Structure 1
Amino acid sequence: MSTTKPAPSARETELLELAYAYSLTHGLADLSLRPLAAAIGSSPRVLLFLFGSKDGLIRALLARARSDELDLLERITDRYDEPPGLDVIARELWTWLAAEERRPLMKLWVEAYGRSLVAPDGPWTDFARSTVDDWLELLRTAQTGSGTTQTQQARRTAVLAVLRGALLDLLATGDVKRTTAAVNEYLAH
């Protein structure tokens, strides 16, 4: 007996996209099915039928957000025949992260990241760990130069920490100029 979930129906895909757009504006922490369903032209029953539970819907929304992140990583790596270097990729990532049109996605990412740290057994399970692993892998494939494996890993971790810290600061203050200058200053050394 197969436990593989069948491909989503057109209606499930449509409702997921609508719910994703809703969650970018309203977040996921206090998600209530009734207002969500009303906003996207559905009903709580349909959402529960399609996603199994509220947690199932949240997992689907987190997977949808993560797919945006993974698409970015793929687009960046596809542009280069050779590894471009950690600083080049980090600057590209920062430009993408800091773009005004991505603020809703970045706020959702921060919310999901934080929730996966404080509620690790819920629908947020492993979100933070997975996103760290994804970004570190991208940085690893971009890294050039010599040094021990441990030194290179430490540099990738530091770059990721600077990007995440600057992102949090940007989301809190809206100060693109200052946070971009900080990222560029760090990457210059």
Structure 2
Amino acid sequence: MRFDSVIEVLRVGFGRAGAVGTVPDVAGRGERERLLDLVTAHCLEHGVADLTLRRVAADVGTNNRMLLYYFTSKEGLIESALLHAVGRFPRVVGAIDLLHDRAAPLEERLARCWREISHPVNTPFMRLFFEVFGLAAHRPEPFRTYLDRAGHEWNARVEEVLVAEGLPRPDAALLGREIVALWRGLQFDLLSSGERDEIDRSHDRAATWISHRVRRAIGDRAGGGDGDAAAALRE
């Protein structure tokens, strides 16, 4: 797909693939925001492993000096592009909101959330997410904002869902981390193997077991205190 084609996909949404978001009209916005839209599209199409400021500048119609002015460094540009990219993928942004629908059993909500996270339309974002993570693992400081968000934001949101289910907060925090780790591991598996049906079944089996542990923990807490709840989650 050509670079201009990616821009068009980002501008109008993802049509048949099911995304409903669009890129905001850049007219009248600041130059940094205009460049960030274009840089984000470049990173989604080409990746960042071999990224150079010269190549990006040529593709987006600017020069190295302006990219450094707005983004400080190559690493700052990559981090900004990734954080900006997530807003282009509504299925990623809204996935965890599905966990709040307590009319459905927890295992069903987890399964729906996973299907949104792993939807094929999100594949460009997943690739970029893990590519940037590889860079950040070797050089964490330039990517500190990304690492802080990747390490805490989703954990905290799932934790709140589990507290609403009735778990004590310390137990909800531990289990929230476990659930997010499950999703991240399966995303990596999906990118590397492409075995979607098998991965979905693995997720749903894990979700059923997690839900069973939560029900046990809540029941044990009602009957015997927080210590029993923690023991049930460790099963």
- Residue 32 of structure 1 is matched in structure 2 by 52
Q: Does structure 1 retain, via aligned residues, the 8 Å contact 2:71–2:77?
A: yes
Letter in 2 for 1:53: S
- Residue 128 of structure 1 is matched in structure 2 by 147
- Residue 49 of structure 1 is matched in structure 2 by 69
Letter in 1 for 2:172: Q
Give the C-alpha shift of residue 88 in structure 1: 4.6
Structure 2 gap segments, 5+ residues each: 1-27, 210-235
For the aligned residue pairs, the C-alpha RMSD in angstroms reads 2.9
Give the C-alpha shift of residue 44 in structure 1: 2.1
Aligned-pair identity (%): 24
Q: Aligned pair in 2 of structure 1 residues 37, 60: CA closer, same or farther (>3 Å)?
A: same
Give the C-alpha shift of residue 114 in structure 1: 2.8
Write the distance in 1 (CA, Å) between the matches of 2:76 and 2:175. 37
For residues 49-128 of structure 1, the aligned pairs below 5 Å read 49-67=69-87, 72-73=92-93, 76-77=96-97, 80=100, 87-122=107-142, 124-128=143-147
1:140 maps to 2:159 = yes
Q: Does structure 1 retain, via aligned residues, the 8 Å contact 2:54–2:64?
A: yes
| 1:89-136 Cα distance to aligned partner (Å, 9 max, x none) | 4323311221112111001111222322221122x1242332231111
Q: Aligned pair in 2 of structure 1 residues 42, 27: CA closer, same or farther (>3 Å)?
A: same
What is the total number of aligned residue pairs between the two structures?
181
Write the distance in 1 (CA, Å) between the matches of 2:73 and 2:206. 44
- Residue 163 of structure 1 is matched in structure 2 by 183
Structure 1 counterpart SS, 2:141: coil
Letter in 2 for 1:31: L
Write the distance in 2 (CA, Å) between the matches of 1:69 and 1:141. 23
- Residue 5 of structure 1 is matched in structure 2 by none
Letter in 2 for 1:154: L
Q: Does structure 2 retain, via aligned residues, the 8 Å contact 1:136–1:157?
A: yes
Structure 2 counterpart SS, 1:188: helix
Larger radius of gyration: 2
Give the C-alpha shift of residue 15 in structure 1: 1.5
1:182 maps to 2:212 = no
Higher relative contact order (CA 8 A, sep 6+): 1
Q: Does structure 2 retain, via aligned residues, the 8 Å contact 1:20–1:61?
A: yes
Normalised by the length of structure 1, the TM-score is: 0.79
Q: Aligned pair in 2 of structure 1 residues 75, 98: CA closer, same or farther (>3 Å)?
A: closer
1:20 maps to 2:40 = yes
Normalised by the length of structure 2, the TM-score is: 0.65
Write the distance in 2 (CA, Å) between the matches of 1:109 and 1:83. 32
Write the distance in 1 (CA, Å) between the matches of 2:64 and 2:190. 35
